[in-house]
Structure 1
Amino acid sequence: MPIFYSLAIRFYYVLLYLASFFNQKAKFWIQGRKNWESRFKPTANKKRAWLHFASLGEFEQGKPLLQAIRKQHPEKEIIITFFSPSGYEVRKNSNLGDYILYLPLDTPANAQRFLDIFTPELVIFNKYEYWFNFYKACADRGVPVYVSSAIFRPNQIFFKWYGAFNRRILGFVQHFFVQNKESAQLLASIGFNNATVCGDTRFDSVLDLAKSRKDFPLVEAFKAGSKLIVAGSTWPADEALIHNYAELLPKDWKIIFAPHEIGEEKITGLQKLLGEKALRYSATSMDQEMPLANYRYLVIDNIGMLSSLYSYGELAYIGGGFGVGIHNTLEAAAWGLPVVFGPNYQKFQEAKDLIAFGGGFSVKTQNELNQVFNVLVNDKEDRAKAGAIAKEYVAAHTGASAQIMAKIF
C-alpha cells in the first residue's frame, strides 16, 4: 500500500504542476517547494519544535501553542510548515517561527531530508493532515508526533473497513488532543486510547484577538452611529444573498463585506454587485469629497482586519456555508455577535453548539436568511440575547492550549 500511496502523491504533484501554468495558487504551491532543502542551514545541536498547519485558519487556531512555546521554552527554535499557499504567503514572515516553509511533498526521501536538516525533538500537527511518510519517519527516529485540536467523524476513512492504511498512519501518533468526546470515542473504537479531550485551541486564539483589538478610524467614520452587519470571509453566493436582503434593511443599518478572496477580479465583481453606494477600503481616505457616512457598504480588500472589524458590528454573517464549509465563527462570537451562516457547517463542532444554544443560525435559502436577519436586525432584545450566548460560549471553552502544553512538556 505505501507504494500506491507514493505513486498517488507523485501524481498529485504532476496535476498541480500542470495547473500552475494557469492557476496562481498552484503556481505558489509548486514554486514554494523548489529547492527547499538548500535554503535552510540550521545551527547544530539546537532543540527544535516543529508545528505544521494546513492553511491560514489552522495557523490562527494553533497560534496560542506557538506563543506558549516561545514564552515558556525560549531555548527552543520553532519550525513552521504550511501545506497551502493561503497560509504560507500570509504568515511567511511571522516572528513566531525561526524557520517557515512549505511542507515538502510527502515522499520518503523528503521526509528523511527534512528530519536530517531540522532535527526536531517533537512534532505537532494541527487538527488534521496525516502524511504517511513524514509520520513514519518521525516514528522511526523516536520523534513524538502529536495532533492538536483533532476532530474525527464516523464517515472518515479511518473508520471504514477499507481504511487499514489510514489507520496505520494514526498508529504513528504519540498522542491526540481532541476537540470532543465523540472524537475520543471514535479513536477508541479502532483501538487508539491515546487521546485527551481538551477542546479547541481556537477559543484561546480568538479570545486573545478580542483582547487586542485594532482601531480603524475609517471604519468608525463609515459607521457614523449606524448599526453594522459584518459579513466575513464571504464568497459570491453569500454576497448575493446579503445584497438581496439589503433592500429590507432599515436605513440606520450598514454592511461591511470582508471577502475570503481579495484578488482584483473578486473585489471589482463585488463592487459591481453593490453599486455606487459601496466604498473600497484601500481606495478611500478620511478627507474625500463625499462623506464616508453617506455610503451603505464598505468592501475590505486586504487580510488582517476581520477579527477586529467584528468589534464594530451588531450582527455577523460568516461565509463559506454554501461551498466546502463555513469559515471562522468564533472570532465574531468572541465579540458577542450573533452569527449567521450557510448550510454546510456539519464539520464544525462550534457551529453546531452555537445553533443548539441559540447564538448561531444556519440558513439554506434567501427566504430563510431574510427571516433570521429580520428578527436579529429588528428585535434588539433577541439580538442581544443571542450575542451574549455566543460570547459566553467562547469564554467557557478556553484553556485547551494550557492542557496541551502541560501534557507535552
Structure 2
Amino acid sequence: MLRRYDLIMRLARYATLGASAFVSDSSAAKIMRFARGQRVAIERVREGMETLDRSKPTVWLHAASLGEYGIARPIISAIKRQADCNVVITFFSPTGYEAVSRRKGDIDRVFYLPLDTRSNVNRFLDIVRPDCAVFMVSEYWHNYLHALKQRGIPSFLISAIIRDDGPFFKWYGSLYRNSIKSFSKVFTLDDNSIRNLRKLGIDNVSVNGDPLFDNVALVASTPWKDELIERFTGNEKVFLAGSIHHDRDLEMVTELANRHPDTRFIIVPHEINENILKDIEDKVKGRCVRYSQCDGQTDMSDTQVMIVDFVGALAYIYRYAAWAYVGGGFTPLLHSVIEPSVYGIPVSFGPKIHRKVTPTEMVRLGIGKVVHDTEELDLWFKRLKRDNARVQYIAKRAAKYVKQNTGATPRVVRHILDIICAKK
C-alpha cells in the first residue's frame, strides 16, 4: 500500500501536466502554476531557510489554500505575539501560495508543500527542522505525518470534521486511519467528530471550535478602506457576490444583477482569468468596470457592476456590502460564509452544505439562506430589500453567533507554546 501511494505521489506532477490539455484555459493555467511550483519546491525551501535565524524554534503550518489560511492566520498572529520563533507556512494550491507570498505579515517563510513522496518529505524536514507541525482541516499527507511521528516532532490537526460516512470507516480507509493516528493531538469542530475518532481508538482529541471565527473577527476590526470601491458604492447599498465559480454561481448572480438594475453589484470571482471576466461583462446588461482598469478619474456614476479582478482582499471588501452571496455552494467547495456574516449582513449560498458545520448552523439560526436557483435567490433578495426590520434582526443574530464562536485560537496556541518553551 505504502509503495503504491509513494508511486502515485511521484506520478502526480506528470499527471497534472497531462491533464492540463483536457481542461479549461483557466484550470490549465492553474495546473501549470502548480507544476512549476513543484518543480522547484525543494530548492526554494532550501534557499529560504538558509537566511533564517535557526537559533529560534520553528513552527511549521500547512494549509491547502487561501480558505484554510483563514484558520491558520490568527494562530500565527498569536504565536508571534507570544514567542520569539520562526513561522513557516506551506500551501498546496497556487492561489494560497501566491496571495500570502505577497503579504507575509507575521510569517517568516512561505513555500509550496513538496509532493508527499518519502524522498521529498525527508529532504523537507531535514531542511526546515520544525519543532512542531500544524495542519488545517483535512490535510492527511501520510508520508509527512509518518515521518513527523518517527522523528518525534509533535503534530496537530486543527478544525477537523470526522463524519460517520467518511473515508476512515470505508474498506479503502486504512491509509486515512493510519495518517490521522499519527497526529499528536486532533482539535475538532464538534462532539460527533470526537465520538468517531474514539471509534478509531484515538483519544488525544478535544472539541476546540474554529479559529476561522477569530480570523474574521480580527479582519472586521482591522481598519481598512479602498478608495475605488468607495467611489463605486457611494451612498448606495451594494450586493456583493464573493468567490464566484464559473458555473451556476455566475449564471445566477449575473441574472440577479439584470433583474435589479437599480442595485449596484460587486462581483469577486474565485479564480481570476480573462474567460470569467469577459463572461461576466457579456452577461450583465448594465455597465461593468474591472477594478484593475479604474483609477481616481474613472467615471462610475452610471456603473452597475464592479468586477474585483484580484485575490486576497475579499474578507475586507465584504464590509461595503448590504447583502451577500457566497460562491462554491454548487460544488463541495463552498467558500467562507462567516466572512460576510461577521459584518452582520444577510448571506446566501448554494445547497451543498450537508458536510459543513458553519453554513448548516447559520441556516438553522436564520442568518444564512440556501438557494437552489436564480428564482430562489431573487425571492430572498426582494424580501430583504423591502424588509429592513428583518435585515436588522439578522445583523444582531449574526453578531451574536460570531461572538459566541470566537476564542478557539488560544487553546491551540497554548499547546504550540508549550512545545516552543520546552525547546529553549
TM-score using structure 1 length: 0.94
SS of the counterpart of 1:226?
coil
User: Is residue 382 from structure 1 mapped to residue 390 from structure 2 by the alignment?
Assistant: yes
Give the structure 2 partner of residue 100 of structure 1. Answer: 110
Give the letter for the 1:351 counterpart.
P
Q: CA deviation at 1:44?
A: 4.8
Give the structure 2 partner of residue 303 of structure 1. Answer: 311
Give the structure 1 partner of residue 9 of structure 2. Answer: 9
Give the whole-Å Cα distance in 2 for the aligned partners of 1:247 and 1:43.
56
Q: CA deviation at 1:307?
A: 1.7
Give the structure 2 partner of residue 243 of structure 1. Answer: 254
Give the structure 2 partner of residue 38 of structure 1. Answer: 43
Give the whole-Å Cα distance in 1 for the aligned partners of 2:396 and 2:260.
23
Q: Contact between 2:187 and 2:205, CA under 8 Å: does it hold in 1?
A: yes
Q: CA deviation at 1:377?
A: 1.8
Of the three residues 338, 344, 349, the one matched with 2:357 is: 349
Give the whole-Å Cα distance in 2 for the aligned partners of 1:313 and 1:197.
33
Of the three residues 111, 120, 141, the one matched with 2:130 is: 120
User: Is residue 294 from structure 1 mapped to residue 269 from structure 2 by the alignment?
Assistant: no
Give the letter for the 1:119 counterpart.
R
User: Is residue 405 from structure 1 mapped to residue 413 from structure 2 by the alignment?
Assistant: yes
Q: CA deviation at 1:333?
A: 0.4
Give the letter for the 1:26 counterpart.
I
Of the three residues 143, 151, 154, the one matched with 2:161 is: 151
Structure 1 residues 89 and 305 mapped into 2: Cα distance closer, same or farther (>3 Å)? Answer: closer
Give the letter for the 1:109 counterpart.
S
Q: Contact between 1:150 and 1:179, CA under 8 Å: does it hold in 2?
A: yes
Q: Contact between 1:56 and 1:87, CA under 8 Å: does it hold in 2?
A: yes
Q: Contact between 2:288 and 2:304, CA under 8 Å: does it hold in 1?
A: yes
User: Is residue 60 from structure 1 mapped to residue 70 from structure 2 by the alignment?
Assistant: yes
User: Is residue 391 from structure 1 mapped to residue 399 from structure 2 by the alignment?
Assistant: yes
Give the whole-Å Cα distance in 2 for the aligned partners of 1:165 and 1:265.
39
Give the whole-Å Cα distance in 2 for the aligned partners of 1:192 and 1:153.
15
Q: Deviations over 1:36-60 (max 9, x none)?
A: 3334235555421111111111112
- Residues 225-236 of structure 1 correspond to what in structure 2 (within 5 A)? 225-236=235-246
Give the letter for the 1:390 counterpart.
A
Give the letter for the 2:257 counterpart.
A
For structure 1, which segment, 269-278 or 390-399, has the greater mean C-alpha deviation from structure 2 after superposition? 269-278
Q: Deviations over 1:364-386 (max 9, x none)?
A: 12222222112112211112212
For structure 1, which segment, 279-288 or 308-317, has the greater mean C-alpha deviation from structure 2 after superposition? 279-288
Give the structure 2 partner of residue 172 of structure 1. Answer: 182
Give the whole-Å Cα distance in 2 for the aligned partners of 1:58 and 1:52.
9
Q: CA deviation at 1:29?
A: 1.5
SS of the counterpart of 1:143?
coil
Of the three residues 327, 333, 336, the one matched with 1:325 is: 333
Q: CA deviation at 1:276?
A: 4.6
Give the whole-Å Cα distance in 2 for the aligned partners of 1:309 and 1:102.
27
Give the whole-Å Cα distance in 1 for the aligned partners of 2:126 and 2:152.
13
SS of the counterpart of 1:153?
coil
User: Is residue 83 from structure 1 mapped to residue 88 from structure 2 by the alignment?
Assistant: no
Q: CA deviation at 1:305?
A: 2.9
Q: CA deviation at 1:67?
A: 0.9
Give the letter for the 2:249 counterpart.
D
Give the whole-Å Cα distance in 2 for the aligned partners of 1:70 and 1:396.
25
Give the whole-Å Cα distance in 1 for the aligned partners of 2:325 and 2:223.
19
TM-score using structure 2 length: 0.91
Q: CA deviation at 1:398?
A: 0.4
Give the whole-Å Cα distance in 2 for the aligned partners of 1:248 and 1:43.
58
Give the whole-Å Cα distance in 2 for the aligned partners of 1:160 and 1:364.
31
Q: CA RMSD in A?
A: 1.8
Q: Deviations over 1:53-107 (max 9, x none)?
A: 1111111221011111111112x21221111111111112413332221111111
Of the three residues 49, 55, 78, the one matched with 2:59 is: 49
Give the whole-Å Cα distance in 2 for the aligned partners of 1:403 and 1:69.
12
SS of the counterpart of 2:138?
coil
Give the whole-Å Cα distance in 2 for the aligned partners of 1:376 and 1:213.
28
SS of the counterpart of 1:162?
coil
Structure 1 residues 348 and 129 mapped into 2: Cα distance closer, same or farther (>3 Å)? Answer: same
Give the whole-Å Cα distance in 2 for the aligned partners of 1:213 and 1:349.
29
Q: CA deviation at 1:250?
A: 7.2
Give the whole-Å Cα distance in 2 for the aligned partners of 1:266 and 1:95.
30
For structure 1, which segment, 19-28 or 84-93, has the greater mean C-alpha deviation from structure 2 after superposition? 19-28
Give the whole-Å Cα distance in 2 for the aligned partners of 1:338 and 1:173.
38
Give the structure 1 partner of residue 33 of structure 2. Answer: 28
